[in-house]
Chains A and B, each alone.
Chain A
Amino acid sequence: MAELRAELVELLPRLRRFARVLARDAHDADDLVQTAIERALAHAGQLRADAPLAGWMFGILRNAWIDEQRARGRRGRVFAAAELGEQVADPAHGAPLETLAVQDAVARLPQEQRLAVALVLVEGLSYKEAAHIMEVPIGTLTSRLARAREALQAMLGERDGA
């Protein structure tokens, strides 16, 4: 357990980055990381010795995110306006415009495409690892990735051309 905790501490920056791609808002993203850590520690017995910790944690975090999205759906759209406000106010002050534009574009992708982008483009996982975490066949992953790339090119190209 002590070893697991030490490895988790090392993994925290990546978990936070992964969560930030999914949730964008820094507080929401850290909430997801915290939920994932709590779940992981509660189910540490399920981690196979030969499985990479990062993949296991990304899977737990992804599930926590999906749960959170569903809960939000149930709560209705009450928070939508506030969240939009945060998105304007929250991301790191003084971040370069291009960074904000890319984060914006990623945040507009449908959930499943955003997940594919987070795992493959940002985290640099293999298709096999990413598909496993997303619980879909590799073909499904690659087509989501292709659609995500098209959408990002369109959104970012639009902006560059404007």
Chain B
Amino acid sequence: MTFSDETLNAYVDGELDAATHAALEAAMTTDPQLAPRIARQRALRAQVRAAFAPVLTEPVPERLLASVRGAPGRAGNVVAFQARPRPRWSWPQWGAMAASLIVGVLLGPVLLRPSAPQQAPLETSGGRVLASGALAGALSQQLASSQPPGAPVAIGVSFRARSGGYCRTFLLREAQPLAGLACRAGPAWQVVALAQSELPGTGSGYRQAGSVLPPAVSRTLDELILGEPLDAAGESAARAAGWKP
């Protein structure tokens, strides 16, 4: 009796009916060709399974856990996920991100501010863009839960980044409002994303401030955030600790 490849496959896959199963095992004792054919199929199955097994033990990305939880402000506020360009950077390339994520913003006028250079909210240092002046002050001191309406800077979400440090989103109420994301880098705040904000910043709680984040900034947030944003108590505690992780 001869057995087709499909029959042998079904045997390896545990799908053979009892009668054929018995016939095949009986034939294996007499047909020297059968055992190696079956062994090859077994090995292939094991090989394919093994090649993808490591995925099971990888840490599950936070964004997937968040979407199972249906985390507010993340699944809903962002446009259809497929339509979003995928972030491609990884954490160590962070420094290099600063330039590429400053979207549609003419930095010159903001940085130079010839009339009052000491009040510029941004400065560059070693290729990085750092918060300065009122922005640096607000990032270090201002709490989202209690910020004066109309302050030059509105703080949005504060969160722990995957790297361990703290980051905060902000809105700069310039003539052209700018929204951005800054992360604590030693004693400074490095601005890792900055884009024109479409809406004037009127929000005070993190929901409002979060919902006006331009896509470039919210993508960066999605990529960096570890867990959920800090609540008011967490934010306050982080400030008390000088934003040291």
Least distance between A117 CB and chain B CB atoms (Å): 6
Least distance between A70 CB and chain B CB atoms (Å): 12
A20 and B55: CB pair below 8 A?
yes
Chain B residues lying within 8 Å of A99, measured Cβ to Cβ, are: 50-51, 54
Q: How far is the CA of A75 from the CA of B41 in the complex (A)?
A: 38
In the complex with contacts A30-B61, A102-B51, A120-B13, A153-B40 CB distance below 8 A: yes
B48 and A121: CB pair below 8 A?
yes
- The B interface is mostly helix, strand or loop, or mixed, namely helix
Q: How far is the CA of A12 from the CA of B65 in the complex (A)?
A: 8
B94 interface residue, CB < 8 Å from A? no
Q: Per-residue 0/1 for B7-34: is the Cβ within 8 Å of any A Cβ (1 yes, 0 no)? A: 0011001110000000000000000000
B219 interface residue, CB < 8 Å from A? no
B116 interface residue, CB < 8 Å from A? no
The segment out of B68-76, B107-115, B124-132, B150-158 that lies at the interface is: B68-76
Chain A residues lying within 8 Å of B41, measured Cβ to Cβ, are: 149
Q: How far is the CA of A14 from the CA of B65 in the complex (A)?
A: 14
Q: Per-residue 0/1 for B182-212: is the Cβ within 8 Å of any A Cβ (1 yes, 0 no)? A: 0000000000000000000000000000000
Name A153's closest neighbour in chain B (CB-CB): B44
B5 interface residue, CB < 8 Å from A? yes
B60 and A16: CB pair below 8 A?
yes
The interface size of chain A toward B, counting residues with CB under 8 Å, comes to 45
In the complex with contacts A38-B75, A99-B54, A126-B15, A13-B60 CB distance below 8 A: yes
- The A interface is mostly helix, strand or loop, or mixed, namely helix
A17 interface residue, CB < 8 Å from B? yes
A35 and B51: CB pair below 8 A?
no
Least distance between B54 CB and chain A CB atoms (Å): 7
Selected contact of A12 from candidates B5, B48, B49, B64, CB within 8 Å: B64
A12 and B47: CB pair below 8 A?
no
Chain A positions near chain B (C-beta within 8 angstroms): 5, 8-9, 12-14, 16-17, 20-21, 27-28, 30-31, 33-35, 37-38, 41, 68, 71, 92, 95, 98-99, 102-103, 106, 117, 120-122, 124, 126-127, 142-143, 145-146, 149-150, 152-153, 156
